[in-house]
């Protein structure tokens, strides 16, 4: 039986260490896959991790434009690359991106998203993943990507 792993990205860690760890993980993942983590891709990933709230592409673009010339396609290409490598997750319901807390391991994402403050918590629960995969297989469906987004209210906003 797999115990659910809850990863609250905003609590219980040193933020500087968190960002540094995410960038080191990204370098390792890219090296293992034989793909290049360019300076721009690295900076976009850093901007995603800058806050532990989901961030939109245009917010990333705005931050980048303070440092260099950038255009929307540039940011979207970088985000697509990071998503393909498993370094970020796209949260479709709020059209934003969050850094993946476990990019070394291929996994499906389940996210708790606060509808008030937008804070997100990634949950890695194999039981949820397996039930959905089994149900899809029984329906003759081949799952290629799975992200579950649950909108609610976080503990801090409830208080």
Q: Give the pLDDT confidence of 43-77 residue by residue, as tens digits.
A: 999 999 997 789 999 999 999 999 999 999 999 99
Domains located in the chain, CATH noted: 10-158 (1.10.10.10)
Residue 98's pLDDT is what? Answer: 94
Cβ-contact 46, 12 below 8 angstroms: no
Q: What are phi and psi of 108, to 5 degrees?
A: -95, 155
At residue 6, does pLDDT exceed 60? no
Average pLDDT over residues 107-136: 90
At residue 81, does pLDDT exceed 90? yes
Rounded to an integer, what distance in angstroms lies between the CA atom of residue 65 and that of residue 100?
A: 24
Whole-structure pTM value:
0.85
Cβ-contact 108, 66 below 8 angstroms: no
Residue 9's pLDDT is what? Answer: 45
Residue 158's pLDDT is what? Answer: 94
DSSP 149: E
């Amino acid at each position: 039986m797999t115990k659910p792993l809850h990863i609250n990205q905003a609590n219980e860690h040193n933020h500087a260490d968190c960002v540094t760890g995410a960038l080191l993980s990204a370098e390792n993942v890219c090296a293992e896959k034989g793909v290049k983590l360019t300076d721009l891709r690295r900076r976009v990933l850093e901007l995603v991790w800058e806050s532990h709230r989901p961030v939109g592409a245009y917010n990333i673009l705005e931050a980048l434009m303070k440092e260099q010339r950038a255009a929307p396609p540039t940011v979207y290409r970088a985000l697509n690359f990071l998503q393909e490598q498993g370094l970020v997750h796209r949260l479709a319901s709020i059209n934003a991106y969050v850094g993946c807390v476990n990019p070394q391991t291929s996994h499906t994402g389940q996210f708790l998203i606060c509808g008030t403050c937008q804070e997100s918590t990634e949950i890695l629960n194999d039981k949820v993943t397996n039930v959905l995969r089994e149900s899809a297989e029984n329906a003759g469906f081949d799952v290629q990507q799975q992200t579950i987004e649950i909108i609610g209210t976080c503990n801090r906003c409830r208080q």
